A and B are shown apart, each in its own frame.
Chain A
Amino acid sequence: MKKVIAREKLPELWAHLAAQGPLYLPIQDGPVVLFQPWAEGAEVNLDAVNSAVSPKDIFLPREETFMHYRTSGRQLEMTPVEANEPVTAFGVHPCDLKAIELLDRVFLDQDPPDALYQNRRDKTTVVALSCREADPFCFCSDFGVDPADAPGADVMAYLTDSSLLLEARTEKGKALLEQSGDFLADASKESFSGKEVTTADFNLQLEGLAENLKERFDDPVWDQLYKSCLGCGVCTYVCPTCYCFDVEDFGHEAEGERFRCWDSCMYGHFTEMAGGHNPRPERKERVRQRFLHKLQYYPEIHNEIACVGCGRCLRSCPVNLDIVQAIKALGGETVEQC
């Protein structure tokens, strides 16, 4: 099913979709673009290359309450909370959708499935948006991502100067386009394809990297690499494939809630045990953990590097200790033959 809508008509489509349930879109928020629930007057920016923070929080929210508790005397009552509204994630770029598929391996494919994540994944229709341009930090092509196309999309969208073309790829996607019929014109005779986009070439050599890293846990490279790290954790915050979380209670003895929230392996408390022992006490161990998890540990389990080349850590790290620097320091750079 193929449909088209003129750009100036998009706010009507947003209003229609948002009436069914939360509609997440790349929204200009001061100097940055963030995936946020659409509301009347929101400044949607479909032309942005990438949102500052990945849209992973649509599926793994920064904070998610999953139960309420109530006590009376010695009695304890626990009531689960679950999200019920259908969600639309609109304008997700191919790199970010690929990242969600990498999260699926952890949260859906590995037993036991994560019911909170699965619930949000099931209830969300993803409208992926083909990239029209890349910035100097985009390097998704290194990870097999096609910036023009996202194979896992429910609806694949292509932006032109005047309109937005929409192609349903799944039943969910078809349902979304059908129930938005009043706003969309038929485009079944048109042929849709994304623009060819050239991404940055950092001369990365990723093949065999995970295997080579098995011998490099105690490599002296780690004694240098971590030094500039400030431990701020922004890399894990903006990263679409970082998924570490914490579980905490909020409330008092009589009642309250339990929630999970994003956490970061870059923080000292992350692994600190009761009694004070900490297996990753310093930034060196924590930097090593983050990069080895992406480049060696995750690939050992899932046969794929846990990076999609979205470029967010390159844009955000205040000291340029990004994944490209790490890959290069660890020997993952093409050496030109003389």
Chain B
Amino acid sequence: MSSVNPLMPQQATILDITEETPDIKTLRVVGKEGMPFDFMPGQCAMLSVFPVGEAIFSITSSPTCRECLEFSIKDVGSVSGALHCLTPGQQIGIRGPYGNGFPIDQMKGKDLLFIGGGIGLAPLRSLIGYCFDHRQDFGHIDIVYGARSPADMIRKSEVRETWRQEPDTSVYLTVDAEFPDWDGNVGFVPNYVSELAFTPGNRVAVTCGPPIMIKFVLQALEKLKFSPEQVITTLEMRMKCGVGKCGRCNLGPVYVCKDGPVFSLAELNALPAEY
């Protein structure tokens, strides 16, 4: 064949698995010779479990971590379910990286506001880790993270402890309802963002989470006078090829797997609202 088949996975091995929540596990994955490929925050990879199939997942580790790739995966479908049944040492198929990633160059020199909900923290965590490792390139960092309950938060030790110790960084946690031993905020993420009254200033806001949360976070940021260019989010669509050909994630003239999944609100506003 004259070129490499982009649909052909390479072999990878699961190093270890962490149970994050009752339905989310984090898999650490290495290729045959270390990192399967280089990537940037916000990019994704296709993971294969035979004969179940293949699905796309965002990479949650930072590219500054050179040991392995990490994936925080919620058990919602057939492939994610199969991945949840695996044990360390198991080999799987992997291909990537796919997608555009976050616009890091545009974010340099700016204050950053990360707003995540539930498993939506997974792609944000890659970017957050990258920013901490290039701290001098960015201004103040605010992180707002919410989940249904304290038990549903992923990367608990990072969000509760490690990130708070990073310089010039504020972390705000919220859960949907009162829970015993919970001393953080109670309420939905969009409301909490409004209450915290972030000013647009020199900020870029990046939000990932369930569609309903994103919808109301975007409204909250608009009320706080953030411009559409200052707001960045990610789209989730069904994908099979990852290279802009199979047609599933087609949205107007873009293919989310290739031209996304990261879009500014300004870019999103120009696309058909069919996601």
Q: Check if A and B associate.
A: yes
Q: Is A245 an interface residue (CB 8 A)?
A: yes
Q: Does B196 contact A (CB under 8 A)?
A: no
Nearest opposing residue in chain B for A70, CB measure: B50
Stretch in A10-18, A71-79, A313-321 touching the partner: A71-79
What A residues does B237 contact at CB under 8 A? 271, 273, 279
Q: Which residues of A contact B4 (CB under 8 A)?
A: 112, 115
Where chain B touches its partner, the secondary structure class is: loop
Interface residues of B in 100-120 (CB under 8 A from A): none
- Taking a contact as CB atoms under 8 Å apart, the answer to whether A245 and B240 are in contact is yes
Interface centre among B78, B79, B252 (most CB of A within 10 A): B252
Choose, from B84-92, B152-160, B179-187, the stretch at the interface: B84-92
The 5 A-B pairs at the shortest CB distance, nearest first, are namely A274-B77, A244-B247, A76-B91, A300-B253, A115-B5
A residues less than 8 Å from B246 (CB atoms): 244-247, 263
17 A-B pairs with CB atoms under 8 Å apart are: A66-B7, A74-B89, A74-B91, A78-B9, A115-B2, A118-B3, A122-B2, A246-B240, A247-B241, A250-B51, A258-B50, A271-B237, A275-B76, A292-B272, A293-B250, A296-B252, A297-B252
B33 within 8 A of A: no
Closest to A84 in B: B1
Q: Is the CB of B238 within 8 A of A252?
A: no
A189 interface contact, C-beta 8 A: no
Residue of A nearest to B235 (CB): A279
Which residues from A are CB-within-8-Å of B93? 69, 76, 78
Task: A76 to B1: give the CA distance in the assembly, Å.
Answer: 23
Chain B residues proximal to chain A, CB less than 8 Å: 1-11, 48, 50-55, 76-80, 89-93, 211, 236-238, 240-241, 243-248, 250, 252-253, 272, 274-275
**Residue numbers in A under 8 Å from B272 (CB-CB):** 217, 292
A300 touches B53 (CB 8 A): no
A256 to B50 Cα, complex, angstroms: 8
From the candidates B48, B80, B90, B244, name the one contacting A274 in the complex (CB within 8 A). Answer: B80
Q: Which residues of A contact B (CB under 8 A)?
A: 66-67, 69, 71, 74-78, 80, 82, 106-107, 110, 112-116, 118-119, 122, 217, 243-253, 256, 258, 260, 263, 265, 270-275, 277, 279-280, 285, 289, 292-293, 296-297, 300-301
Beta-carbon contact of B238 and A245 below 8 Å: no
- Cross-chain contact A249 with B2 (CB below 8 angstroms): no
Q: How far is the CA of A243 from the CA of B76 in the complex (A)?
A: 28
CB-nearest residue of chain A to B272: A217
CB-defined contacts of B50 to chain A, threshold 8 Å: 69, 71, 76, 249, 251, 253, 256, 258
Do the beta carbons of B247 and A110 come within 8 Å of each other? no
Q: How far is the CB of A277 from chain B (nearest CB, A)?
A: 7
CA distance A244 to B248 in the complex (A): 8
Indicate if the CB atoms of B51 and A251 lie closer than 8 Å: yes
Across the interface, do A274 and B250 meet the contact criterion of CB distance under 8 Å? no
Tell me which of B50, B77, B89 has the highest count of chain A C-beta atoms within 10 A of its own C-beta. B50
Q: What residues of chain A lie closer than 8 Å to B8, measured between beta carbons? A: 66-67, 78, 80
Q: A107-B245, A251-B50, A275-B76 are in contact. Are A80 and B274 (CB under 8 A)?
A: no
| Complex CA distance for A198 and B92, rounded to whole angstroms | 57
Kindly state the separation between the CA atoms of A122 and B55 in the bound complex, as whole angstroms: 30
